[in-house]
């Protein structure tokens, strides 16, 4: 009976992760003919007991600051055809692919394999980077570990298999527990510096020290070691992965010191060096493009975007070369993932260089059919379109020439057809877009529909009430009053089949009208009654009768609770019961200060009708203004300047001659204007 796979696990006393690690290995132990060897360097009986639950093959090892010696202790007793090693702070996410690799017999066609190590940069697991690691190989008598730190298996023969399976690894996350002063990085640095003393010409050691200084935020020192390491690596006959890593990272490290000019010059020197590999060139192009943007060398930046494109296509057509050029995170896969953002950077560079033909070329490079990669760039594409002043129509024309079904491009094509006054084509494109509208672009489609009087039913069926509420609030705020009146008249007929959505827009429109214009008394009351009917109809549609019978319930929206008070006040107005009206309106303003201007206008009209200066109406009127002032003071105290300014506009209508209101307005303008 043969052992297919030996798993060698280096265990210290990391009890918090050992359980996860061992548990992730259970499928391999169950599905394959596998042995597990534990090299135990810890002191805890609890840790040892947990390891013994999974294997009886425990090798005690006294730690001697040499990882290779510890690894070789496990390797020496391995009996599998293949060998896999990992640490007790790593655990597999899914081992299914590795199991298939062995069960299918595919492993017989390879001599080594890579899988992915996901290195987390924080203990919460929110930030991480993925690195291909060669942790599996055919076991031969020559196989051994070399280097006391960042140990490697050697020889690591080809051909090798690239697996997508990955381990979670928190070893590089900085530990911040009270009393724990030593981190993995400081431990590694001391070992590496000692190793360098023994091997002063080791380019790989220089690279590893560079990585450690980078991780502790010492880019200046990292640059020194990286320069020396790169110079040593260039003296070797072969180009190893550590040279590739230093090729790609030296300019980036220099930029971290703040000297972007030196970083650009160094990057260009490396780019033109005969030993620079294609994958290194790709990574350098990304760094140099960003540096050119910051240094305002826009045309040079465009050159590097073009070079990125050329090298990317070359490597995609020559995957065997890309497979041979890998160094930790410096891989074709990692840099190809930045393709869309590089092209986006290129578009902004063409704006600064006023090179529109180049912009058109870059637009054609975008992988428009890959929605997952393109979607995050839509806001930047919109910003770029606005940034390219005077080219709006031309940009739409270029979008129209693209051969793609991408929904964002489809919207641009609809806009172009509209500009060309091609009504039928505009409508056809609009209907396609309405059925597959990218997030955030419903507003654009509504504007097109209103201008051309297209039915909104297709779009609104796919638009949530929350998104529509957001739209109605924004459109009434964004449009000037005269523009909004025309827009309202044109959109309301398009909402006949969607009464709920129509009422929401009606309410936002009425709020703008009631707080923005001085209306005749009869018209004011008419519009307030219309507003109440609209809000109350919505409430009946959404809420149960029991909830509506108690308009003071805080679960109900402020707009409805305000409308309930206002409706009661308007009912009393018809009866001529003025004294109670003030109390209701006082509550209403407290609930929804946004409408204080309209309520204030109503109160002034009532005061004029009564025509009795000594009546208590004036006192109530002043008390109402005082309550709104109190709301305003709270907003100012909280630094909510935009909200305070909105209430001020209403309060000025309520108390136009109040000096305190004038002073508060000046404070809001001063403080809010400094943001």
pLDDT one-digit tens code per residue, 198-223: 899 999 999 999 998 998 889 999 99
Mean pLDDT, rounded, for 122-149: 86
The CATH number for 132's domain is: 3.90.550.10
In a domain, residue 506? The reply is no
Q: What is the pLDDT of residue 150?
A: 78
Same-domain pairing of 19 and 112:
yes
Task: Return the SS3 of 293.
Answer: helix
Q: What is the pLDDT of residue 641?
A: 77
Q: What is the pLDDT of residue 140?
A: 94
Q: Is the pLDDT of residue 177 over 90?
A: no
* Least confident among 17-26, 304-313, 510-519: 510-519
In a domain, residue 485? The reply is no
Work out the pLDDT band at 617, boundaries 50, 70, 90.
very low
Each residue's pLDDT tens digit, 113-127: 999 999 887 777 777
Structure tokens, 305: 């975007």
Q: Is the peptide bond before 519 cis (omega within 30 degrees of 0)?
A: no
For residue 463, give Cα distances in angstroms to 278, 405, 437, 479, 594: 47, 21, 9, 21, 27
Q: What is the pLDDT of residue 127?
A: 77
Task: Return the SS3 of 27.
Answer: helix
Q: What is the pLDDT of residue 657?
A: 65
In a domain, residue 574? The reply is yes
Higher pLDDT, 674 or 605: 605
CA distance 670 to 455: 46
In a domain, residue 477? The reply is no
In a domain, residue 482? The reply is no
In a domain, residue 499? The reply is no
Instruction: Report whether 146 contacts 134 (CB < 8 A).
Output: no
Strand-by-strand arrangement of the 112-120 sheet: 58-60, 34-40, 5-11, 82-87, 128-138, 112-120, 160-169, 90-92
The torsion of the CA quartet 527, 530, 534, 535, rounded to 10 degrees, works out to: 60
Q: What is the pLDDT of residue 572?
A: 84
Q: What is the pLDDT of residue 178?
A: 33
Q: What is the pLDDT of residue 175?
A: 45
CA distance 63 to 320: 40
The candidate with the shortest Cα–Cα distance to 51, out of 24, 4, 19, is 19
* Least confident among 229-243, 260-274, 536-550: 536-550
* Least confident among 240-254, 331-345, 512-526: 512-526
Tokens 């692919």 belong to residue: 97
Q: What is the pLDDT of residue 675?
A: 52
CA distance 310 to 360: 17
Same-domain pairing of 447 and 532:
no
Each residue's pLDDT tens digit, 410-440: 999 999 999 999 999 999 999 999 998 887 8
Higher pLDDT, 555 or 525: 525
For residue 36, give Cα distances in angstroms to 4, 23, 25, 246: 11, 12, 9, 36
Mean pLDDT, rounded, for 271-285: 97
Q: Is the pLDDT of residue 577 over 70?
A: no
- C-beta atoms surrounding 305 within 10 Å: 26
In a domain, residue 430? The reply is yes
Residue count of the chain, please give it. Answer: 675
Q: Which structural domain, as residue segments, surrounds residue 76?
A: 5-169
Main-chain phi, psi angles of 160, to 5 degrees:
-120, 155
Q: Is the pLDDT of residue 557 over 90?
A: no
Structure tokens, 372: 């997952």
Work out the pLDDT band at 37, boundaries 50, 70, 90.
very high
Instruction: Report whether 93 contacts 167 (CB < 8 A).
Output: yes
Structure tokens, 405: 């079904």
Q: Is the pLDDT of residue 1 over 80?
A: no
Q: Which residues are CB-neighbours of 388 under 8 A, at least 6 positions away?
A: 351, 356, 359, 395
Instruction: List, as one string, the DSSP characters of 634-660.
Output: HHHHTT-HHHHHHHHHHHHHH-TT-HH
Mean pLDDT, rounded, for 594-613: 73
* Least confident among 360-364, 386-390, 391-395, 442-446: 386-390
CA distance 45 to 60: 12
Mean pLDDT, rounded, for 478-506: 91
Same-domain pairing of 199 and 126:
no
Final residue in a domain of this structure, among 365, 399, 417 = 365
Q: What is the pLDDT of residue 656?
A: 66
* Least confident among 38-42, 131-135, 341-345, 387-391: 387-391
Same-domain pairing of 77 and 195:
no
Q: What is the pLDDT of residue 176?
A: 39
Each residue's pLDDT tens digit, 652-665: 666 766 767 767 77
Same-domain pairing of 162 and 193:
no
Q: What is the pLDDT of residue 616?
A: 46
Q: What is the mean pLDDT of the chain?
A: 87
- List the beta bridge partners of residue 11: 40
Instruction: Report whether 569 contacts 551 (CB < 8 A).
Output: no
CA distance 611 to 614: 9
Rounded to two decimals, the pTM is: 0.72
Work out the pLDDT band at 179, boundaries 50, 70, 90.
very low
Same-domain pairing of 439 and 565:
no
Same-domain pairing of 201 and 307:
yes
Work out the pLDDT band at 146, boundaries 50, 70, 90.
confident
CA distance 328 to 405: 37
Instruction: Report whether 282 contacts 312 (CB < 8 A).
Output: yes
CA distance 563 to 569: 10
Work out the pLDDT band at 180, boundaries 50, 70, 90.
very low
Same-domain pairing of 279 and 132:
no
Same-domain pairing of 619 and 642:
yes
The CATH number for 306's domain is: 1.25.40.10
CA distance 534 to 563: 9
Structure tokens, 81: 């055809």
Q: What is the pLDDT of residue 82?
A: 96
The candidate with the shortest Cα–Cα distance to 123, out of 184, 68, 64, is 184
For Cα atoms 505, 509, 515, give the angle at the middle one, nearest 5 degrees. 150
Q: Is the pLDDT of residue 511 over 50?
A: yes
The torsion of the CA quartet 607, 608, 609, 614, rounded to 10 degrees, works out to: 60
Mean pLDDT, rounded, for 162-185: 66
CA distance 358 to 626: 62
With both helix axes pointing from N to C terminus, report the angle between 241-256 and 260-271 in degrees, rounded to the nearest 10. 160
Q: In sequence order, which ranges of 543-595 are alpha helices (DSSP H)? A: 545-548, 558-575, 578-591
Q: What is the pLDDT of residue 183?
A: 55
Mean pLDDT, rounded, for 50-64: 94
Same-domain pairing of 127 and 212:
no
Q: Which residues are CB-neighbours of 589 under 8 A, at least 6 positions away?
A: 595, 596, 599, 624, 627, 628, 631
Work out the pLDDT band at 171, boundaries 50, 70, 90.
confident
Write the burial class of residue 401 (CB in 10 Å: 0-12 exposed, 13-18 middle, 19+ buried). exposed
Write the burial class of residue 84 (CB in 10 Å: 0-12 exposed, 13-18 middle, 19+ buried). buried
Looking at the 3D structure of the chain, how many domains does it have? Answer: 4
Q: What is the pLDDT of residue 477?
A: 85
Same-domain pairing of 306 and 414:
no
Final residue in a domain of this structure, among 169, 193, 210 = 169
Same-domain pairing of 188 and 162:
no
Final residue in a domain of this structure, among 142, 169, 196 = 169
In a domain, residue 626? The reply is yes
Q: What is the pLDDT of residue 516?
A: 74
- C-beta atoms surrounding 344 within 10 Å: 21
- In the chain the first and final C-alpha atoms are separated, in Å, by 75
Mean pLDDT, rounded, for 160-167: 92
The candidate with the shortest Cα–Cα distance to 102, out of 86, 81, 87, is 81
Task: For 582-616, give one letter per residue: b (16+ CB within 10 A) or e.
Answer: bebbbbbbbbbbbbbbbbbbbbebbbeeeeeeeee
Higher pLDDT, 598 or 531: 531
Q: What is the pLDDT of residue 601?
A: 80
453 dihedral zone (left: phi>0; alpha: psi -120 to 50; beta): left
pLDDT above 90 covers what percent of the chain? Answer: 57
Work out the pLDDT band at 384, boundaries 50, 70, 90.
very high
């Amino acid at each position: 009976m043969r052992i297919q796979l030996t798993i060698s696990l280096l265990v210290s006393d990391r009890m918090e992760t050992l359980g996860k690690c061992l548990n992730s290995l259970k499928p391999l132990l169950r599905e394959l003919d596998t042995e597990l060897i534990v090299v135990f360097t810890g002191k805890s009986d609890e840790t040892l007991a947990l390891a013994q639950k999974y294997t009886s093959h425990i090798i005690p090892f006294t730690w001697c600051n040499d990882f290779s010696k510890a690894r070789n202790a496990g390797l020496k007793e391995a009996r599998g055809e293949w060998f896999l090693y990992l640490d007790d702070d790593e655990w597999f996410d899914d081992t299914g692919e590795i199991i298939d690799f062995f069960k299918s017999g595919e492993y017989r066609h390879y001599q080594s394999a890579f899988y992915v190590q996901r290195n987390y940069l924080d203990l919460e697991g929110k930030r991480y980077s993925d690195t291909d690691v060669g942790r599996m190989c055919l076991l031969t008598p020559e196989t051994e570990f070399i280097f006391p730190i960042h140990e490697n298996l050697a020889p690591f023969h080809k051909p090798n298999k690239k697996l997508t399976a990955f381990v979670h690894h928190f070893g590089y996350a900085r530990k911040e527990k009270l009393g724990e002063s030593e981190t993995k990085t400081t431990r590694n640095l001391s070992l590496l510096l000692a190793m360098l003393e023994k091997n002063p010409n080791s380019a790989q050691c220089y690279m590893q020290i560079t990585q450690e200084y980078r991780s502790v935020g010492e880019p200046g020192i990292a640059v020194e070691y990286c320069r020396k390491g790169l110079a040593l690596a260039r003296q070797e006959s072969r180009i190893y992965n550590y040279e590739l890593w230093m090729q790609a990272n030296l300019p980036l490290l220099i930029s971290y010191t703040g000297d972007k000019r030196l970083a650009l010059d160094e990057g260009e020197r490396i780019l033109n060096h005969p030993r620079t590999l294609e994958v290194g060139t790709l990574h350098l192009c990304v760094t140099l493009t960003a540096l050119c943007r910051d240094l305002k060398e826009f045309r040079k930046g465009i050159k590097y975007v073009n070079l990125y494109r050329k090298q990317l296509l070359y490597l995609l057509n020559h995957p065997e070369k890309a497979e041979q050029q890998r160094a930790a995170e410096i891989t074709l896969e990692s840099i190809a993932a930045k393709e869309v953002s590089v092209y986006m950077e290129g578009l902004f560079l063409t704006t600064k260089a006023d090179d529109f033909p180049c912009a058109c070329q870059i637009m054609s490079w975008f992988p428009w059919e890959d929605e997952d990669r393109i979607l995050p760039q839509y806001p930047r594409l919109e910003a770029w379109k606005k940034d390219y002043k005077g080219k709006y129509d031309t940009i739409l024309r270029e979008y129209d020439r693209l051969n793609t079904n991408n929904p964002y491009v489809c919207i641009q094509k609809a806009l172009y057809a509209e500009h060309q006054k091609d009504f039928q084509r505009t409508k056809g494109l609009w209907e396609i877009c309405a059925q597959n509208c990218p997030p955030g672009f419903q507003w654009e489609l509504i504007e097109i529909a209103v201008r051309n009087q297209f039915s909104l039913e297709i779009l609104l069926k796919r638009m949530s009430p929350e998104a529509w509420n957001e739209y109605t609030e924004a459109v009434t705020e964004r449009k000037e009053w005269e523009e909004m009146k025309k827009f309202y008249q044109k959109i309301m007929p398009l909402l006949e089949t969607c009464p709920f959505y129509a009422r929401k827009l009606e309410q936002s429109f009425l709020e703008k009208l009631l707080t923005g214009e001085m209306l005749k008394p009869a018209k004011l009351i008419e519009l307030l009654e219309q507003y109440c009917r609209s809000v109350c109809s919505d409430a009946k549609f959404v809420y149960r009768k029991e909830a509506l019978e108690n308009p003071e319930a805080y679960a109900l929206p402020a707009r409805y609770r305000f409308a309930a008070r206002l409706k009661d006040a308007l009912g009393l107005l018809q009866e001529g019961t003025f004294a109670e009206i003030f109390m209701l309106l006082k509550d209403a303003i407290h609930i929804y200060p946004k409408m204080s201007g309209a309520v204030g206008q109503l109160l002034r009209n009532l005061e004029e009708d009564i025509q009795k200066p000594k009546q208590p109406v004036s006192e109530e009127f002043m008390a109402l203004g005082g309550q709104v002032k109190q709301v305003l003071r709270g907003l100012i105290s909280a630094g909510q300047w935009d909200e305070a300014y909105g209430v001020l506009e209403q309060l000025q209508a309520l108390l136009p001659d109040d000096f305190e209101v004038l002073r508060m307005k000046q404070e809001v303008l001063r403080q809010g204007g400094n943001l």
